[in-house]
C-alpha cells in the first residue's frame, strides 16, 4: 500500500507506518497515533501528526471514521469499505463486514443526480459483553 503513495514528507511517512503497523480493524485516535509516532521519531509534534493524517486521508491511504457519540475520530489503514459497530456501553468500535452494494450506490446517485464519493455507516448498540451484563442485571 505504501508504495502507491507519492513522495511524502518523512514525518507523514512515519504516521502512515504507525497506522499500517496497527493493521486493519484497529481504530486509533490521533492522540494514540501521535504517541506511537514518537517512539519512532521522538521530536514529532501532535500538530504534524494531525496534518499528516489529514493528508493521508486525502490521498486515500488512511481511513477516517467519525463515530457518532465517539469522543474523537479514529483512523485505520485503507481497506475494503466496511461498516462499524460502536458499543454504547463500553465505547468499543468493531469492524462489520457490511457495505452498501455498489449497484445501490450507483442507483441512488443517478436518482438524486449527485456524485457519491464515500459512505460512512456506523451501527450503535451493545456489544456481546455489555448485552450479557444487562441480562444479568435483569434476572
* Contacts with Zn ion, residue ranges (CB under 5 A): 76, 87, 89-90, 95, 127, 130
Smallest distance, Zn ion to C-beta of residue 24, A:
7
| 127 within 8 A of 57, measured Cβ to Cβ | no
Ligand-binding annotation for 87, yes or no, is yes
Smallest distance, Zn ion to C-beta of residue 108, A:
22
* DSSP secondary structure letters along 61-76: SEEEE--TT-SS-EEE
Cα 40 to Cα 26: distance, rounded to the nearest angstrom = 19
Smallest distance, Zn ion to C-beta of residue 76, A:
5
**Residue for grid cell 468493531:** 94
Ligand-binding annotation for 112, yes or no, is no
Residues annotated in a binding site: 87, 90, 127, 130
Residues annotated in a binding site for Zn(2+): 87, 90, 127, 130
Amino acid at each position: 500500500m505504501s508504495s502507491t503513495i507519492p513522495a511524502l514528507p518523512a514525518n507523514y511517512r512515519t504516521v502512515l507506518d504507525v497506522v499500517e503497523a496497527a493493521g486493519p480493524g484497529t481504530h486509533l485516535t490521533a492522540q494514540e497515533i501521535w504517541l506511537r509516532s514518537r517512539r519512532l521519531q521522538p521530536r514529532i509534534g501532535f500538530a504534524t501528526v494531525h496534518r499528516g493524517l489529514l493528508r493521508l486521508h486525502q490521498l486515500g491511504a488512511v481511513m477516517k471514521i467519525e463515530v457518532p457519540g465517539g469522543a474523537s475520530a479514529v483512523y485505520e489503514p485503507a481497506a475494503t469499505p466496511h461498516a462499524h459497530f460502536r458499543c454504547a456501553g463500553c465505547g468499543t468500535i468493531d469492524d462489520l463486514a457490511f457495505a452498501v452494494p455498489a449497484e445501490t450506490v450507483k442507483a441512488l446517485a443517478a436518482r438524486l443526480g449527485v456524485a457519491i464519493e464515500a459512505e460512512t455507516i456506523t451501527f450503535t448498540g451493545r456489544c456481546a459483553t455489555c448485552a450479557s451484563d444487562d441480562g444479568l442485571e435483569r434476572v
